[in-house]
Amino acid sequence: MIKFLRHIRKSLLEQNKMGKYFKYAIGEIILVVIGILIALQINNWNENRKNATKETAVLSNINKEFKQNKKQLDSVVEQHELVYTCCTKIMSLFPITSKPEATVLDSLSYQLFWSYGGTTFNPSQTSINALSSTSSFDIIKNDTLKDLLISWNDLIDDYQEEELRSREHMIEQYDPYMANHFDFNFNFNDQRNDFEALQTLKFEYLVKNTHLLVEDILFNSGELQKVQHTVETIIALTEPTTK
């Protein structure tokens, strides 16, 4: 095509037909511009198609990962709720001024066994870390989803502060006290258990503090609710669309 236009242009110059020459020259420029625009459009279309395909794969991975994260979070919350309930029931016996009756001891054995805190939510973040390491968040078209994914790590750090505080209390204070006075399984049929340890102010303090720390996780800080809402929203926004 270009060779043909050059031939016409040369012919017009040889015939000294400048007016027609300029028209053909302008036409040639227009054709070149149109060709460039078409090529750019095709290239953009191909890039958009590739990005759309990549986004679909990324969203699918995120969706699967966060569904697993939700299962883990539900399990962790269930453990926190059990600790909270057990501590509440133990606290209802305060002050313990003498060795409890056998039926009370049986119940107390169960409550103490499950009163240990320290469970933490450790979500999988492979998909988000991959986006972050390759600076690929822009591939996500939905701005709400993009913002949630970008802020996810900070949200988890804020939430885990309460869980780590509870875990530290369990490891450094709660468990050592229990280990010094009670059987591993809180088998109160074993007479070596120190039942007087149930009557101390320190015992009350440790149980109440465990209760308070778990209460902060579940209700007071509000971070758990933010995490739950974010997880559910990310799952909803990454669900595969049916056409």
CB 114 within 8 Å of CB 82: yes
Q: What pLDDT, on a 0 to 100 scale, did the predictor assign at position 224?
A: 97
The tokens describing 236, both together, are 């909803």
pLDDT digits (tens, 9 = 90+) for 210-237: 999 999 999 999 999 999 999 999 999 9
Instruction: Quote the pLDDT of residue 21.
Output: 46
Give yes or no for a cis peptide into 100 (omega within 30° of 0).
no
Domain ranges of the chain: 58-237
pLDDT band for position 156 (50/70/90)? Answer: very high
Long-range contacts of 131-136 (CB under 8 A, 24+ apart): 131/58, 136/58
CA distance 151 to 123: 14
Residue 95 CB neighbours (<10 A)? 10
| 6-16 average pLDDT score | 56
163 within 8 A of 217, measured Cβ to Cβ:
yes
Mean pLDDT of 130-152: 92
The rounded distance, in Å, linking the Cα atoms of 116 and 84 is: 9
* Tokens coding 231: 């997880």
Please give the residue that has the higher pLDDT: either 32 or 185.
185
Mean pLDDT of 116-133: 92
Grade residue 34 by pLDDT with cuts at 50, 70 and 90: confident
Contact 97, 199 (CB under 8 A): yes
- In the numeric block, the tokens 């057990």 are attached to 86
CA distance 52 to 223: 33
Confidence of residue 133 (pLDDT cuts 50, 70, 90): confident
Helix (H, G, I), strand (E, B) or coil at 94: coil
If one compares 168 and 42, the residue with the highest pLDDT of the two is 168
The pLDDT of residue 116: 94
Q: Count of residues for the chain? A: 243
> Predicted confidence band at 31 (pLDDT cuts at 50, 70, 90)?
low
Taking the model in full, what pTM does it have? 0.81
In the numeric block, the tokens 């885990």 are attached to: 160
- What does the buried/exposed string (b/e) look like for 22-58 if buried means 16 or more CB atoms within 10 Å of the residue's CB? eebeeebeeeeeeeeeeeeeeeeeeeeeeeeeeeeeb
Q: Which of the residue ranges 47-56, 68-77, 187-196 would you say has the lowest mean pLDDT?
A: 47-56
72-96 pLDDT, tens digit each? 999 999 999 999 999 999 999 999 9
Residues 6 or more apart from 57 whose CB is under 8 A from it?
A: none
Instruction: Return mean pLDDT, the chain.
Output: 88
